Chains A and B, each alone.
Chain A
């Protein structure tokens, strides 16, 4: 009987341990774009505090639906919700990290950053109005660069994605015809070109098809050493798509007067601002049913703002500027439990 009793005791202890570990487990679901950095943060955070994070990257739409249904502790979305929508669902929204979208090209003999494009030209290429690299409008902008007399193949994301939303938001902000005909969404009715599934699908297609142009998150462009084109920003400059340029876009944005931080970072003023920049967002309930869990969620992101910058940069994400983090902390004060106390203790 003795070994049995011993096993029982061990089993009970293990069960107890398991429940206590489960208690400190926060769950989130949503956008796929920040998944790599969220999982890195979660790993480091668990090591430090013992609190685990279970994040399911099911897409922004799914993240919004799940937080509305209260099946997760937080939702994540690439496309920010409108203030009215936040009000209606009783949600608070705040950004976590930023990223840039970069037009990548595959033109023989043309190196990275050698071709310049304007937003209007980019929109015309994707609308099928400019068909060849040798088009006079492109040539005029790129004197001294030898571009072939070949058809351009635009490559887009075939799956609905936040990246496409950022890209088409940008095209809509710089091109009136694009806005009218196609608009901005997670997928649009592309008139020309071909679709690749995921960032990796677009990357593979651009690499394989001569004279193709595609758009991917900056991390993919960098890791795959793809040639990219420079885009004219609002100030008429052509910045390099790097961390400095994404940060500059965030710095010029007016975060303060936008409820829910749902600001579009595309086409911001500022000499160094990369024009196709965007943040990704977290959604939590303003009056959470479980104040302890909600507090854990905010604690996690507070830790990430303070300690996660290096991990984010390693993965080619861009940390938020410090002043924005300060504004987010202000916003958190409004998240209160049923007893009226803020769930996040400052």
Chain B
């Protein structure tokens, strides 16, 4: 207390005491911040506007049928989005199912269990994964991963489940080439792990040590501490991290184009080739014209809507987590 009074006295004496805030500077700062926020909205509106404008011929030609049709025929100018939309969602969900548990495991290990000397190298390796360009993942997936995956997973699994009621459909590969929706999901999982893991790790690191120590103090095991103290504390941020990963998985283009097999068909098997919105656009955009170009724009528009929908769901989840 004395220290505080002393320093106030000192400040008074030296004349550096805080003067009344300048109104004009304050207003300038407020204006600048406001303008930055509006700029983002304007850019977003501009992007959406130009996509909708480009997609309009396709929407007015096919109407709601664009969403439910699985045709994609340039010769007859019939276009539909269903296989690409389902492929996009399926590959992204597979990526989450595989990637999220691994990411959470990495984060918990790094913050709670890892010996001090190993923490930095492991964390750096994870972050290095984020800096690998997606085309490299695509090429690695096609030339290295797919052949191994075909030999050691697809072919044995297909042989095993052939003829079984449900598994025989979902896990049977008619073309055992190693590429397909599941392969795309696995590659995407590898790509989102560094994002989800590093954000979760940072969040877990920021939880006050006192919380953890008191839990240990009353005799909790590590699992109990993670489950009942850390995860509830960081749940909002973890959901945010997962949503960021999902965003990347939904929009990833090059890597997926290489490993998904690029077939415009609906298939019940996750081993079969499919396509995503982004891979379809990447494949056809540079040669597209007329109604085909509009349909690709319309696909882009749908991807926009899907991403938006995902964000809304994330918001709702975060709100629920906060209440709980």
Asked if B72 and A195 make an inter-chain contact with CB atoms under 8 angstroms apart, the answer reads no
B217 within 8 A of A: no
For window 133-171 of chain A, which residues contact chain B by CB distance below 8 Å?
151, 153, 158-161
A-B contact pairs, 25 of them (CB 8 A): A58-B286, A61-B287, A61-B288, A61-B289, A62-B287, A151-B175, A158-B279, A159-B287, A160-B283, A160-B287, A161-B287, A183-B74, A183-B76, A187-B74, A187-B287, A189-B72, A189-B74, A194-B179, A195-B263, A195-B283, A196-B262, A204-B143, A208-B150, A208-B178, A209-B175
Say whether, besides A158-B262, A183-B75, A195-B261, A208 and B283 are in contact (CB < 8 Å): no
8 A Cβ contacts from A189-237 to B? 189-191, 193-197, 201, 204-205, 208-209, 212
Beyond A159-B283, A161-B287, A201-B258, is A190–B263 a contact (Cβ under 8 Å)? yes
In the complex, which residue of chain A has the Cβ closest to the Cβ of B285?
A160
A160–B176 touching, CB < 8 Å: no
| Least CB distance, B142 to chain A, in whole angstroms | 6
**Are the C-beta atoms of B287 and A208 separated by less than 8 Å?**
no
- List residues of B (254-288) whose CB comes within 8 Å of A's CBs: 257-258, 261-265, 273, 275, 279, 282-284, 286-288
A160-B287, A183-B76, A193-B175 known; 17 other A-B pairs, CB under 8 Å?
A: A61-B286, A159-B283, A183-B75, A185-B75, A189-B73, A189-B264, A190-B264, A194-B177, A194-B263, A194-B273, A195-B273, A195-B283, A205-B179, A208-B147, A208-B177, A208-B178, A209-B176
Q: A153-B175, A189-B72, A205-B177 are in contact. Are A159 and B284 (CB under 8 A)?
A: yes
**A60 adjacent to chain B (CB < 8 Å):** yes
What are the nearest 5 A-B pairs in CB distance?
A195-B262, A158-B262, A183-B75, A160-B287, A59-B286
Given contacts A201-B142, A204-B142, contact A158 B257 (CB under 8 A): yes
Partner of B283, one of A183, A191, A197: A197
CB distance from A116 to the nearest CB of B (A): 24
Which B residues lie within 8 Å of A204 (CB)?
A: 142-143
Partner of B288, one of A58, A160, A161, A205: A160
**Chain A interface residues toward B at CB < 8 A:** 58-62, 151, 153, 158-161, 182-191, 193-197, 201, 204-205, 208-209, 212
Select from chain A the residue with minimum beta-carbon distance to B73. A189
Q: Does B71 contact A (CB under 8 A)?
A: yes
**A153:B177 contact, CB within 8 angstroms:** yes
Closest to A189 in B: B73
CA–CA, A204 and B71, complex, Å: 27
- Give Cα A62–Cα B143 distance, bound, in whole angstroms: 29
CB-defined contacts of A60 to chain B, threshold 8 Å = 287
CB of B174 closer than 8 Å to a CB of A: yes
In the docked arrangement, what's the CA distance between A195 and B76, Å?
A: 21
The number of chain B residues touching the other chain, given as a range, is 20 to 34
- A197 lies within 8 A of B257 (CB): yes
A338 to B76, CA, bound (A): 41
Interchain CA distance A159-B275 in the complex, whole Å: 12
Query: CA–CA, A196 to B146, complex, Å?
Result: 13
Q: How far is the CB of A179 from chain B (nearest CB, A)?
A: 9
Binding site for A on B (CB under 8 A): 71-76, 142-143, 146-147, 150, 174-179, 257-258, 261-265, 273, 275, 279, 282-284, 286-289
CA separation between A298 and B305, bound complex, in Å? Answer: 49
Asked if A188 meets B261 with Cβ closer than 8 Å, knowing A59-B286, A158-B283, the reply is: no
B174 touches A151 (CB 8 A): yes
| C-alpha spacing A184/B75, complex, angstroms | 7
Smallest CB separation, B178 vs chain A (Å): 7
Nearest residue (CB) in B for A57 is B286
Closest to B79 in A: A189
Docked pose: A208 CA to B176 CA in angstroms: 9
B76, chain A: closest CB distance, angstroms: 7
Q: Which residues of B contact A208 (CB under 8 A)?
A: 146-147, 150, 177-178
> In the complex the two chains form, is B143's CB within 8 Å of A194's CB?
no
Q: How far is the CA of A205 from the CA of B283 in the complex (A)?
A: 17
Report the separation of the CA atoms of residues A189 and B150 in the bound assembly, to the nearest whole angstrom.
Answer: 25
Q: In the assembled complex, which residues on chain B have CB atoms less than 8 Å from the CB atom of A201?
A: 142, 258
B261/A194 in contact, CB under 8 A: yes
B17 to chain A, nearest CB (A): 52
A188 and B283 contact, CB distance less than 8 A: no
Check B284 against A187 for contact (C-beta < 8 Å): yes
Q: Which residues of A contact B263 (CB under 8 A)?
A: 190, 193-195
Do B74 and A186 touch (CB < 8 A)?
A: yes
Closest beta carbon of chain B to A37's beta carbon, Å? 20
Chain A residues within 8 Å of B72, by CB: 189
Minimum CB distance partner of A164 in chain B: B287
Contact B283 A187 (CB under 8 A): yes
Residues of A within 8 A of B143 (CB): 204
Known contacts A153-B177, A190-B264, A194-B179; A160/B73 CB under 8 A: no
A183 to B72: give the CA distance in the assembly, Å: 13
B175 touches A188 (CB 8 A): no
Cβ-neighbour of A197 out of B74, B262, B273 (below 8 A): B262
Q: Are B75 and A182 in contact (CB under 8 A)?
A: yes
Q: For residue A130, give the distance in angstroms from its CB to the closest CB of chain B.
A: 15
Distance from A135 Cβ to chain B, minimum over Cβ atoms (Å) = 17
Contact of A185 among B74, B261, B275 (CB under 8 A): B74
- With both chains docked as a complex, state the minimum distance between the C-beta of A209 and any C-beta of chain B, in angstroms: 4
Nearest to A206 among chain B residues (CB) is B177
Shortest Cβ distance from residue A206 to the other chain B in the assembled complex, whole angstroms:
10
Could you tell me the distance in whole angstroms from the C-beta of A196 to the nearest C-beta in chain B?
8
Name which residue of chain B comes closest to A65, CB basis.
Answer: B289
Nearest CB of chain B from residue A155's CB, rounded to whole Å: 9
> Closest CB of chain A to B121's CB: distance in Å?
34
B143's nearest neighbour on chain A, judged by CB, is A204
For B287, give the chain A residue with the smallest CB separation.
A160
Q: Report the minimal beta-carbon distance from B63 to chain A, rounded to whole angstroms.
A: 20
